[in-house]
Amino acid sequence: KLLGKYATLGLAEDTWSLNEGILDEDAFLEQAYLIHEEREKQFFHALDKTTKGLCAVVIDATDRIQHMFFRTLEDEHPANNGKETKKYKRVIEDLYVRMDRLVGHTMEKLNPDDVFMVISDHGFKSFKRGINLNAWLKANDYLTLKEGKTGSGEYFQDVDWEKTKAYAFGLAGIYINLKGREKKGVVEPGEEYDQLKQELIERLSGFKDPKTGDVAITELFDSRRIYNGPYVGQGPDLISGYNIGYRISWNGATGVVNDDIFEDNVKAWSGDHCIDPRLVPGVIFCNKGINANKPALVDIAPTVLELFGIDRPKYMEGRSIFEDTSRDLREKQPELEVVESVKTREADTVNE
């Protein structure tokens, strides 16, 4: 009643309609900013009512618009073929001008002692080429199709699971067909499981694109070495660290198995962040001095608790970004080494 109708379900901005040419760029931008204006109204209404406490908002426009318009920053992007892009060269720049204005309006409403943080969980890079890991796994005898089949549709329709050791699904990486976990698992837990993971890491880390000569996968990570907690076993066994310009292909993400390991990305969705996290960091801005040398997302909850004078639970990872940096509470969370030796394309770096 106060703010009128607003979008509620899923990804409200219709990215796939722009991908498929049902919406044009102008219509998509109109929709994206309409949703953003709804969010701004909700935020400022909540902020005005919050005289003491926490007020938080998630801004989606920075993500959605960069996904769909990153190609306009690169004339040679495959998604630009036959399309007018000059008109939209400043779309992302204009987006950030608008976000800067939002930050300014917010700061005008703050009291002197209020703490204001602007956080992104990732940046953005170009997505020019897709990699179908299932095609590679098939070509290298880790994934087997049913007799007489040369390919498989979505969700592994024609995969012979009793002869398959590994498969890729979703945006993150590779799963081992592990006995006791998978319905038709064939890989024994323990030594065989560990050896297979290491073999795949060695073969795919530094994997090159034959068309460009560039490294497409900077590193394949063992998820047990970079994550901890009770749900590690529900995610991929190996996480793919894609290089700038690369990502899992659209077909590869949905379990399609074919012979095309690499393919051009010709969709409007041309910017992404599902790559090696060292190449696409997020940012944090704060109106109070930050003591942490390497602030991380896991630090945000402990920081908020500290601001309210609440002790951090012992099981909670992270630390307050205002703590003395000589205290290191991340012994259980190994940091990834900075990428130095990988050949990467130069690209504009912007953050969500």
Helix (H) or strand (E) holding 271: strand 271-272
Q: Is a pLDDT exceeding 50 seen at residue 344?
A: no
**In this structure, what token pair is assigned to residue 277?**
């996290």
Count how many residues are written for the chain: 352
Find the helix or strand (DSSP H, E) in which 103 lies.
Answer: helix 91-108
Alpha carbons within 13 A on the beta-carbon side of 115: 16
What per-residue confidence (pLDDT) applies to 342?
53
- Can you give the residue ranges of every domain in the chain? 15-128+281-307, 129-265+335-345
pLDDT band for 337, please (50, 70, 90 cuts): low
| pLDDT value at residue 352 | 45
Q: What is the mean pLDDT of residues 191-201?
A: 99
Q: Are 262 and 145 in contact (CB under 8 A)?
A: no
How many Å apart are CA 60 and CA 13, to the nearest integer? 9
Over range 238-249, report the average pLDDT: 98
CB 75 within 8 A of CB 85: yes
Give the residues across from 238 on adjacent strands.
174, 222
Q: Which residue has the tokens 């917010």?
A: 106
The whole-chain average pLDDT of the chain stands at 92
Q: Is the pLDDT of residue 349 over 50?
A: no
Q: CB burial class (10 A; 0-12, 13-18, 19+) of residue 318? A: buried
Give yes or no for a contact between 102 and 40, defined as CB atoms under 8 angstroms apart. yes
Residue 322: is its pLDDT beyond 80?
Answer: yes
pLDDT of residue 339: 56
How do residues 33-84 score in pLDDT, each as one tens digit? Answer: 999 999 999 999 999 999 999 999 999 999 999 999 999 999 999 999 988 8
